[in-house]
Amino acid sequence: MSEDKAKLINLTINGKDISAPASLSIFQALWHAGYPRVKGAGCLQGVCGSCRVFVRRADSNEVTTELGCELLIEEGMDVNFLIYPIPPHQTYQLSDIPNSWEVQVKFHDIFPEADQCRHCGGCSTTCPKDIEVERGVALACEGRFQEAGELFVECVMCNLCQTACPELITPNHVAMFSRRVTAYFHTRPSNLINRLGKMHRGELQVVE
Amino acid sequence: MIKNAPYHEAVRDYEPLAERPLPPAAGLREDLLHRYHPDYRPDCFTKLTVGPNAGDPCHRRLAGILQSDSRIDEADLAASPEEEADVLVIGGGGAGCSAALEASRAGARVILATKLRLGDSNTVMAEGGIQASIDKDDTPQMHYEDTVKGAHGQLDRGLAAQMVMDGPDVIRWLIQQGMQFDLDEYGDLLTRRAGGTSAPRVLYFRDYTGLEMMRVLREAVFNGDVEVRDYCPAVELLSDQSGHCAGAVLSSLKNYKYSLVKARSVIIATGGIGRLHLNGFPTSNHFGAVGDGLVLAYRLGARLRDLDTFQYHPSGLAYPPHLAGTLITEGLRSAGAYLLNAAGERFIDELKERDQIAAAIIRECAEGRGIDAGHGQCGVWLDTPSVERRRPGVIERRFPKLLHLGTKCGIDPREQPMLIYPTLHYQNGGVVINKRGASSVPGLYCVGEVCGGVHGRNRLMGNALLEIISFGRRAGAAAAKRAHGFARTPKKIAMEHLSAFRRELMLAKMPLDRTSPLLFPEYAKFDNDSDYDGLRRNARVDG
């Protein structure tokens, strides 16, 4: 380990030249080099989607999107932070959907652009969690909400897919809609319902 | 000099076994906590000298920020824009969102201000689950008794009793917001056992329970009528002529300007203090967890409690070093993962309370039975392969976050154990509240980790997610109700409480060059950042 520590990695972050020991993340390297960084810092454990970065590696023309807390620094990397994700432009209330037969119609009312997918694959390419984003949108358009939602178990709502979409689809919010209607209309656990009934009838109390 | 086994040797010597008996000698020693838990190191604590808790014990680091001056003066606010709301919620985690949703649904005009983005919080990082007594062999009474026992009896029993009775309805409410849980083949909620409990009672979604909860609540807030002010930390509360809470001063990180939000009720939901790294521990906490809410409430005169007790989660990652402190869920021990020392021996019942387990891990390392990861870090094994051997496929099915973490570490947790050491996880104490979340200052409500009394001196797994929704909903409703009782906003709203607090600091001969809240951890060098010249420099607080 001490050899790794001695070796400094050189890279550029937001235009600043940084040298830092290997095995640091982008954030740790910035702080190590003495640069303050608050914007984009979140959970620092890969679940909040705050620290979105563009990355170009040495000898490559390809620009990838990753999370700055999870990404380890590499020699010659060029990193730029993206900040302030765009808030979603649609609004809906689950309680406005009268019953589960109406979910598909409501979905297309709320997300009219979802049908316009050009299949460019930009959303899936940008996803730092390797989710099949485009397929998820297609499934939701077909009304297969549970299946669509299950693709997004690891989604951290970093909004990169939304940024990538030329048709202004908001795939992560399509996914959240799919997941939420699945719970709202179909999660009916008998063990919970029985317990709620007992409590409602006053059969269970706590004696302090 | 105590010498633990070097990491690579210990990896080589490790042998995956499905079953390992607990040696009889591993029974609890009476003095385990006193000898090894960081809460029992007297040199870490001091007595507060100013404010409502003067004379009470408090961690030195926390005492430093509680007894600091404000970042601002009345003069800083000249010509600052003002707006009004019925309810101002400070903090955008699970507690803040549930409070804001309920206040808004009760008809209040709600502004939610958050330091970073909505959902940037410890909620999103919670893994293990949420406790609610729903199994037929379980009762709210058992949940209550487990909570009291875990707390070492030093809790507000009324708050705990109300919370456990709220449990099942909290789950229904979450499902109604669109939250998914792991279900069995018939659609019933699956349960697992938390350490120190008498029945399986933790409901969960993989090891992403908090992420699932937070993204659903965030979506609900964005789609509702709550006005969200992101990148707007609160730097001071406002008070009226009677000393009641009347709003807050926000400091925007976007345009570097102060603004005033005058509100009839204020709900503080700012979370805990992990990023103060008390006693040099790594933390599982979010970047913003530096105790802002405690500071704001204390300066306005709110009583706090139990400021000398913190939770160190037993399983924080100890290797590799750049991920030190990252949380690994207690759900793994619940699923049967052993804790092993370098000799491959179990040394404690893995489902004891968190404080006992953390102390036992610290003991193993202090007495040379741990594993040395280099960089001054040591730890013990969380024996994940044992779980996989007994129930093949369970890690992929139930613990995807662990697998992802393993990928980042270059370790397959199904084959190799993870090195762990306690990580600073939770602030057990905090603002004293009643059953509606009201603090001792009229108009000021507090919910979630910023509060004390619910968990006493040790919190059980899954009780934090329950607390934030149970009390969040209640405080939201109560704050909205209080707001409706006002005919109009009080005339004089200012920061009169600051002069009183400064006078106290001076009389106690406390240094006046320290300011708080800190807003961000020291190593982010926020106050040196030229991008943020809207805020005054913050003196470094030592501790």
Q: Render pLDDT for B361-386 as a digit per residue (tens, 0 to 9).
A: 999 999 999 999 988 899 999 999 99
Q: What is the pLDDT of residue B27?
A: 61
Tokens, residue B61: 């680091």
Geometric angle at alpha carbon A47, from A41 and A50, rounded to 5°: 30
Show the domain range for B465.
74-309+428-484
Tokens, residue B492: 């004089």
Nearest CA in chain A to B526: A36
Please give the Cα distance from B375 to B315 (Å, whole number). 18
CB B350 within 8 A of CB B333: yes
Please give the Cα distance from B278 to B291 (Å, whole number). 12
Please list every residue in chain B whose beta carbon sits closer than 8 Å to the beta carbon of residue A153. Answer: 206, 208, 400
Catalytic residue among B193, B264, B333, B354, which? Answer: B354
Same domain, B289 and B343: no
Q: What is the pLDDT of residue B528?
A: 60
Same domain, A71 and A36: yes
pLDDT of A23 above 90: no
A9, A30, B270, B451, B528 from A33: Cα distances, Å:
11, 5, 30, 37, 14
CATH code of the domain in which A10 resides: 3.10.20.30
CB contact under 8 A, B125 and A154: no
Q: Which residue has the higher pLDDT, B208 or A35?
A: B208
DSSP string of B462-525, one letter each residue: THHHHHHHHHHHHHHHHHHHHHHT-SS--S-EE-HHHHHHHHHHHHTT--SS-EE---S-GGGT
CB B326 within 8 A of CB B411: no
Same domain, B305 and B318: no
Show the domain range for A178.
94-186
B17, B320, B375, B410, B411 from B8: Cα distances, Å:
19, 12, 14, 14, 13
Same domain, B119 and B210: yes
Mutation to test the B interface, candidates A45, A70, A95, A107, most B Cβ within 10 Å? A45
For residues A151-171, give the mean pLDDT. 94
Same domain, B240 and B289: yes
> Whose CA is closest to B387, among B369, B399, B375, B370?
B399
Same domain, B214 and B96: yes
Please list every residue in chain B whose beta carbon sits closer than 8 Å to the beta carbon of residue A47. Answer: 124-125, 208, 210-211, 401
Please list every residue in chain A whose beta carbon sits closer than 8 Å to the beta carbon of residue B322. Answer: 23-25, 28, 72
Nearest to B529 among A38, A50, A181 (CB): A38
For residues A52-77, give the mean pLDDT. 93
What is the number of alpha carbons within 13 Å of residue B46 lying toward its C-beta?
A: 12
Nearest CA in chain A to B322: A24
Same domain, A76 and A104: no
Mutation to test the A interface, candidates B8, B208, B287, B527, most A Cβ within 10 Å? B287
Same domain, A34 and A107: no
| pLDDT < 70: residue spans in chain B | 1, 27-29, 487-490, 527-543
Residue A14 belongs to a domain: yes
Give the sign of the dihedral formed by CA B329, CA B324, CA B467, CA B220.
Answer: negative
> Whose CA is closest to B177, among B214, B141, B143?
B214
Residue A175 belongs to a domain: yes
Please list every residue in chain A whose beta carbon sits closer than 8 Å to the beta carbon of residue B529. Answer: 36-38
CB contact under 8 A, A180 and B219: yes
Looking at A48, A81, A114, which one is the last position of a domain? A81
Residue B371 belongs to a domain: yes
Same domain, A129 and A50: no
Same domain, B13 and B110: no
Q: Is B525 on the interface with A (CB under 8 A)?
A: yes
* Structure letter (DSSP) for residue B327: B
What is the number of alpha carbons within 13 Å of residue B105 lying toward its C-beta?
A: 17
- How far, in whole angstroms, is CA B463 from its chain's centroid? 11
Same domain, B439 and B322: no
Residue B256 belongs to a domain: yes
Q: How many domains does chain B have?
A: 2
Same domain, A72 and A98: no
CB B193 within 8 A of CB B199: yes
Same domain, A53 and A119: no
Residue B499 belongs to a domain: no
Q: What is the pLDDT of residue A2?
A: 44
Nearest to B168 among A149, A182, A199 (CB): A199
Same domain, B434 and B412: no
Same domain, A160 and A135: yes
Tokens, residue B115: 């330091």
Please list every residue in chain B whose beta carbon sits closer than 8 Å to the beta carbon of residue A84. Answer: 231, 254
Query: Which of residues 21 through 80 in chain A touch B, CB cutoff 8 A?
Result: 23-25, 28, 31, 34-39, 41-48, 50, 70, 72
Q: Is B18 on the interface with A (CB under 8 A)?
A: no
Residue B281 belongs to a domain: yes
Residue A191 belongs to a domain: no
CATH code of the domain in which B84 resides: 3.50.50.60
Tokens, residue A78: 């060029």
pLDDT tens for A79-107 read 998 876 667 778 999 999 999 999 999 99
Residue B278 belongs to a domain: yes
CB contact under 8 A, B322 and A36: no
B272, B308, B468 from B268: Cα distances, Å:
11, 21, 12
Same domain, B193 and B235: yes
Residue B48 belongs to a domain: no
Q: How many domains does chain A have?
A: 2
SS3 for B10? helix
Same domain, B219 and B331: no
Contacts of B190 (CB under 8 A, 6+ apart): B181, B182, B183, B184, B203, B204
Q: What is the pLDDT of residue B100?
A: 98
Q: What is the pLDDT of residue B358?
A: 97
Tell me if residue B29 is catalytic: no
Q: Is A86 on the interface with B (CB under 8 A)?
A: no
Looking at A81, A102, A128, which one is the last position of a domain? A81
CB B134 within 8 A of CB B510: no
pLDDT of A180 above 90: yes
Same domain, A29 and A64: yes
Same domain, A106 and A156: yes
Report strand pairing: A8-13 vs A16-21.
antiparallel
